[in-house]
Amino acid sequence: MAAGSGLLDLLSEMRAGWHGQANCRGIDPELFFPERGGSSAEAKAVCAGCVVREQCLDYALENHERFGIWGGLSERQRRHVRSARLAARAASPTRAAS
């Protein structure tokens, strides 16, 4: 097996999953990582109509992505979502083990 086959397998899996359906597929990734103080409007516009926006956001939250636009949200916006989700989990009653 070739050394690069693991990477090729990962890329194939990503194309088959939600990544392959993303609006950002084929767009320069730099767009989604603007310089500090730079505009993220164009990246967010790409995300706005994306059919896998929620999956992208969930991925970023689960993997603690600290930089860039993921699921149409900046890191600051994702922190708010993460906090809200944690608060909602804390407020919901837990199910008793059967």
User: Taking a C-beta distance cutoff of 8 angstroms, is the pair 37, 11 a contact?
Assistant: no
Q: Which residues contact 47 (CB under 8 A, 6 or more apart)?
A: 23, 24, 53, 56, 69, 71, 72
Of 25-39, 46-60, 84-98, where does mean pLDDT reach its minimum? 84-98
Q: What is the mean pLDDT of residues 58-66?
A: 92
Share of the chain above pLDDT 70, in %: 79
Which pLDDT value is given to residue 70? 96
Question: What's the pLDDT at 1?
Answer: 41
Residue range 22-50, pLDDT digits in tens: 999 999 999 999 998 899 999 999 999 99
